[in-house]
Chains A and B, each alone.
Chain A
Amino acid sequence: MILLTRKADFSAAHFYWNDSWTEAENYRVFGKCANRQGHGHNYTLEVTVEGNVDPTSGFVVDLKQLKDILEREVVSVYDHRHLNHEVPEFKTAVPTTENIAIAIWRRLDGKIPNAKLHRVRVYEMPDLFADFYGEGA
Chain B
Amino acid sequence: MNGTVAHLSRRYHFAASHRLHIDALSPERNREIFGKCNNPFGHGHNYVVQVTFSGPVDAATGMVTNLADLDSFAQREMLDHFDHANLNTLEYFLDLVPSTENLCLELWRIFAEYPHAKLERIRVEETGNNAFDYFGNGAKIKHQE
Mutual binders A and B: yes
User: Least Cβ distance of B71 to chain A in Å?
Assistant: 10
Mark the stretch among B16-24, B62-70, B97-105 that contacts chain A. Answer: B62-70
Q: Are B60 and A18 in contact (CB under 8 A)?
A: yes
Of B8, B52, B60, B142, the residue contacting A98 (CB under 8 A) is B8
Of A97, A102, A119, the residue contacting B1 (CB under 8 A) is A102
Give the complex CA separation of A135 and B145 in angstroms: 18
Q: Is the interface of A mostly helix, strand, loop or mixed?
A: mixed
Q: Are A98 and B143 in contact (CB under 8 A)?
A: no
Q: How many B residues are at the interface, by size bracket?
A: 20 to 34
Q: Does A96 sit at the interface, judged by CB under 8 A?
A: yes
Add 10 more A-B contacts to A18-B60, A96-B61, A129-B9 (CB < 8 A): A48-B145, A94-B62, A94-B63, A96-B63, A98-B6, A98-B57, A102-B6, A127-B12, A128-B11, A131-B6
Q: What residues of B have a CB within 8 angstroms of the CB of A135 in the complex?
A: 4
B: which residues have CB within 8 A of A?
1, 4-12, 52, 57, 60-64, 66-68, 142-143, 145
Q: Are A20 and B60 in contact (CB under 8 A)?
A: yes
Q: Are B62 and A137 in contact (CB under 8 A)?
A: no
